[in-house]
Amino acid sequence: MLSRPKIGILGSGKGSNMVALHQAVQEGRLDADIALVISDVQEAGILEQASKMGLKHIYLAPGPYRTKLDEQAELSYLQHLQGAGVQWVVLAGFMRILKGEFLRVFHHRVINIHPSLLPSFPGLEAWKQALDYGVKFTGCTVHLVDQGIDTGPIIMQQTVPVSEEDTPQSLHARIQQAEHETYPLAVQKALHSQLKIQGRLCTAEEAG
């Protein structure tokens, strides 16, 4: 039987990826325990969803900056995650950049999902960037978080076709469906195979 690593989920939005991860845990597709859900937004849907699902959850103030945690907030996030015994941090729509001490403590153990096929369209509203550019395929990418923005080693990707009728909303919805399939698979892979990171490359070996 596979061990059950503890994961902490960080999110700022509606939390649909967290729901998909929770469902995968319930259905035995993801061998992990969701030990804690943290949001930097007090009224975020992700906290409401976590409450409905009976998951331990907390709002932690992010400090004065708009795009990152201040030093004190970063410490408090770390303390709560470590206090809950978290081994892997899974970002599910967390709208702040994690850096420095956080990434040192959870080295190669912070996972993110991004709504495009990286390295195309990093940053905000990636589905809109894809539509504006005119690509025929986009998708989602699960990657390890490094010091850059959406630049870390890629664990898994899924393609999504773009149709001529798409609006930003319809394309985003289709990408989110792909995210909900891919994220549990990718997290399972990260947690239960030996990830080998060589520069940008991330390969997985079956754990012995």
Task: Give the integer Cα–Cα distance in Å for 102 and 142.
Answer: 19
Site for ligand GRF in 176-195 (CB under 6 A): 176, 179
Q: Which of 17, 138, 158, 188 binds ligand GRF (CB under 6 A)?
A: 17
Q: Which of 5, 62, 115, 153 binds ligand GRF (CB under 6 A)?
A: 115
Q: Peptide bond before 64: cis, by omega within 30 degrees of 0?
A: no
Which residues pair with residue 137 across a beta bridge?
A: 161
Q: Is 93 in the site for ligand GRF (CB under 6 A)?
A: yes
DSSP state of 58: E
Q: Which amino acid is at 41?
A: V
Residue 91 backbone dihedrals phi, psi, to 5 degrees: -90, 130
Out of 114, 143, 172, 192, the active site residue is 114
Q: Is 40 in the site for ligand GRF (CB under 6 A)?
A: no
Is 114 an annotated catalytic residue?
Answer: yes
Q: Is 152 in the site for ligand GRF (CB under 6 A)?
A: no
Q: Is 139 in the site for ligand GRF (CB under 6 A)?
A: no
Q: Minimum distance between the CB of residue 104 and ligand GRF, rounded to whole angstroms?
A: 23
Q: Mapping DSSP to helix (H, G, I), strand (E, B) and coil, where does residue 65 land?
A: coil
Q: Is 141 in the site for ligand GRF (CB under 6 A)?
A: no
Q: Are 117 and 127 in contact (CB under 8 A)?
A: no
Nearest to 202 by CA among 126, 138, 111, 96: 111
> Applying CB under 6 A, which residues contact ligand GRF?
11, 13-17, 46, 92-93, 113-115, 176, 179
- Residues noted as catalytic: 114
